[in-house]
């Protein structure tokens, strides 16, 4: 009898300890849940059940959309899980299928930062909506802005944002950036160097193939804008199918810029990201 009482006491102590450690975790809702609930309420109300969450990307207040990295992929996965957790009517497409879509359309992951390109790519997907996320710095750590788009639309149906801590887990996903090319050439906006201004930049040619396929999106290039305001050493960072990448390179080669200037006001050669937009219709 005494042994049974002791066993009961030990079991009770173990349970109490387990509850003491587990209860705070159970009481703490995952950080995206409230935002996911608000989004799913909008999606379900408009009868949009089949959804894909594309990888989140970093944004800079001055430079615009940046890279998609492991932090963005992790946060996209977390938000996808939150959508499923908050409303069981929502069906999400997995990343592997999304990667297959990119390859089938001759696109790369970086194309996911362009709403116009994603909208075009998903036009025949059978999906109802897609979700994108922007990550920026915040006093609390990171600010995440999520947007839900109806497939075929260019403006979001839902937008919301949340501040989250930049946890040790997320910091561990940050990788050292590779050395950039042309290290001896200055970068616009750094060390007192101005940005070049386009003074003759006609629209790039929309190819017949792209018109037929109704391809839309942005070609992102990096080029040296020399002291005379000419673009050279052009590299493709993000391309588009249908001959639009080649058309963008050809157009930028013939563009003319007011060159950037250094701290002393003299023209200087700089490396600059150049975006060429293609919009059908």
What pLDDT sits at residue 279? 84
pLDDT above 60 (res 23): no
Please identify, among 142, 171, 200, the residue that sits at the C-terminal boundary of a domain: 171
Output the pLDDT for position 16.
33
Does the pLDDT value for residue 230 go beyond 90? yes
- List helix spans (H) across 28-158: 33-45, 70-86, 95-104, 115-121
Tell whether 178 is covered by a domain: no
Clarify whether residues 145 and 237 are in a common domain: no
Quick check: 265 and 244 in contact, CB under 8 A? no
| One domain, residues 36 and 160 | yes
Strands 129-138 and 91-93: unpaired
Of 171, 202, 217, the one marking the end of a domain is 171
The predicted-structure confidence for 42-83, as pLDDT tens digits, reads as follows: 999 999 999 999 999 998 755 656 778 899 999 999 999 999
Instruction: Give pTM, 2 decimals.
Output: 0.76
Which element (helix H / strand E) includes 170? helix 168-171
What is the predicted pLDDT for the residue at 170?
Answer: 87
pLDDT of residue 63: 60
- C-alpha–C-alpha distance, residues 276 and 204, integer Å: 7
**Final residue belonging to a domain, choices 143, 171, 199:** 171
Per-residue model confidence (pLDDT) at position 60: 74
**Position with higher pLDDT, 17 vs 259:** 259
Asked if residue 142 and residue 112 are part of one domain, the reply reads yes
Place of tokens 């946060």: 75
State the DSSP string of 189-223. TSTT----EEEE-PPPP--HHHHHHT--EEEEEEE
The answer to whether residue 103 sits within a structural domain is yes
pLDDT band for 173, please (50, 70, 90 cuts).
confident
Q: Which of 280, 237, 232 is nearest to 107 (CA)?
A: 237
Question: How many domains would you assign to the chain?
Answer: 2
Range of the domain at 130: 27-171
Name the average pLDDT for the chain: 85
DSSP 156-177: -SEEEEEEE---HHHHTT--PP
Residues 147 and 212 in one domain: no
For residue 153, give the CATH number of its domain: 3.40.50.10610
Q: Tell me if residue 8 falls in helix, strand or coil.
A: helix
Question: Which CATH number is 222's domain given?
Answer: 3.30.2420.10
Q: How far apart are CA 103 and CA 40, in angstroms?
A: 29
Are the beta carbons of 122 and 115 closer than 8 angstroms? Answer: no
**More confident: 39 or 27:** 39
Q: Is residue 209 part of a domain?
A: yes
Judgement on whether residues 227 and 271 belong to the same structural domain of the protein: yes
Per residue in 101-124, pLDDT tens?
A: 999 998 989 999 889 899 999 998
Residue 182: predicted pLDDT = 84
Assign 225 a pLDDT band (cuts: 50, 70, 90): very high
Q: Residue 18 pLDDT more than 80?
A: no
Q: What is the pLDDT of residue 174?
A: 84
**The pLDDT of residue 27 is above 70:** no
Q: How far apart are CA 269 and CA 277, in angstroms?
A: 24
User: Worst-scoring range by mean pLDDT, 14-18, 32-36, 199-203?
Assistant: 14-18
- In a shared domain, residues 82 and 205: no
Residue 22 binned pLDDT confidence (cut-offs 50, 70, 90)? very low
Which residue reads 């002791």 in tokens? 6
- 150 and 239 in one domain? no
């Amino acid at each position: 009898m005494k042994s049974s009482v002791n066993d009961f006491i030990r079991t009770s102590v173990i349970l109490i300890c387990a509850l003491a450690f587990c209860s705070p975790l159970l009481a703490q809702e995952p950080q995206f849940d409230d935002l996911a609930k608000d989004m799913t309420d909008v999606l379900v109300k408009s009868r949009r059940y089949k959804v894909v969450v594309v990888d989140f990307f970093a944004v800079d207040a001055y430079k615009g959309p940046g890279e998609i990295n492991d932090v963005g992929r992790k946060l996209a996965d977390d938000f996808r899980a939150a959508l499923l957790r908050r409303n069981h009517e929502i069906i999400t497409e997995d990343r592997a299928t999304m990667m297959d879509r990119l390859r089938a359309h001759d696109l790369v992951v970086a194309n996911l930062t362009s709403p116009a390109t994603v909208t075009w790519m998903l036009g025949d997907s059978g999906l109802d909506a897609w979700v994108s996320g922007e990550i920026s710095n915040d006093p609390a750590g990171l600010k995440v802005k999520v947007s839900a788009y109806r497939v075929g639309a260019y403006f979001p149906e839902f937008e919301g944002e949340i501040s989250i801590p930049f946890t040790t887990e997320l910091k561990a996903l940050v990788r050292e950036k590779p050395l950039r090319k042309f290290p001896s050439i200055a970068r616009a906006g750094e060390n007192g160097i101005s940005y070049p201004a386009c003074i003759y930049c006609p629209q790039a040619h929309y190819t017949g193939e792209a018109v037929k396929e109704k391809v839309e999106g942005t070609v992102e290039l990096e080029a040296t804008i020399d002291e005379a305001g000419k673009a050279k050493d052009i590299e493709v960072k993000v391309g588009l199918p249908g001959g639009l990448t080649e058309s963008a390179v050809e157009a930028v080669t013939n563009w003319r810029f007011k060159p950037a200037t250094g701290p002393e006001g003299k023209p200087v050669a700089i490396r600059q990201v150049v975006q060429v937009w293609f919009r059908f219709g």
